[in-house]
Amino acid sequence: MIKNINEILWNQFGASIDMLINVISFCPEDYFISNRRFYYIAYHSTLFLDYYLTLPPRHFSPLLSFTSRGPEERPKEAVDDLIPDKNYSQQEIVEYLKQSRKKCKELIDALADEKWNVHFKEGDEPNDMDFPILEILLYNLRHTQHHAAQLNMLLRQDLDKHMEWSFRAGDINNGL
C-alpha cells in the first residue's frame, strides 16, 4: 500500500513541478525579462518548492540567494519579502527547479511507515509551520500548482500562449 501511495503522490507532485518548469521554459525571454511580476512569481515558487522540501527547514540553503526586504524596499511586483540578490536567468531558475524535482522524488520515494510521522517544523513561534510530512508535501504541491497557474494565466492573457496540461509526472516533454 505504501508504495502505491508514494507513486500516486509523486505522479501528481511531479506533474505540478513539470508544469512550472514548462511555463518558465517556454516563456519568451524578452517577456521573462520585462514582466517583473512573472519573474518574481517564478523565483518565489522555485525558492519555496525547495524550502518546503527541506527537512528540517533550518537546513535550507537556497541555490539562488535572496535578501529579506521590508515593505518600503520591495519592488511593487514582488510576491513577498524575499527579493532575489540578482536577476537570475530563466535557465538558472529552470535548473534549480530540476534539482528540486529530483529532491522531491527522492524524498517521496524514501517515505516508509516510520517516516510518515516526520514533521516540517519551522520553530516555536505562533505562526511557524509545524506540519506532518504528508501535509507539507500536499501544501507544497498546492503552492507550486497555484503559481504555475498564475504564470500560465499571464502568458495566456498577455501573449495568447497556451501551455500543455500534465496528467502525471514526466508526461510533458521539458527535458526531464
CATH code for position 54: 1.20.120
pLDDT at 112: 84
Residue 173 lies in a domain: no
pLDDT at 14: 98
**Three-state secondary structure call for residue 82:** strand
Residue 167 lies in a domain: no
Q: Which domain holds residue 63?
A: 2-159
Residues in the chain, pLDDT under 70: 1-3, 173-176
Q: How many domains is the chain partitioned into structurally?
A: 1
Residue 175 lies in a domain: no
pLDDT at 96: 99
Residue 170 lies in a domain: no
Residue 169 lies in a domain: no
CA Rg, the chain, in Å?
Answer: 16
To which H or E segment does residue 131 belong?
A: strand 130-132
**Region of residue 173 (phi > 0: left; psi between -120 and 50: alpha; otherwise: beta):** beta
Tell me the whole-structure pTM to 2 decimals.
Answer: 0.94
Residue 166 lies in a domain: no
pLDDT at 72: 94
Residue 172 lies in a domain: no
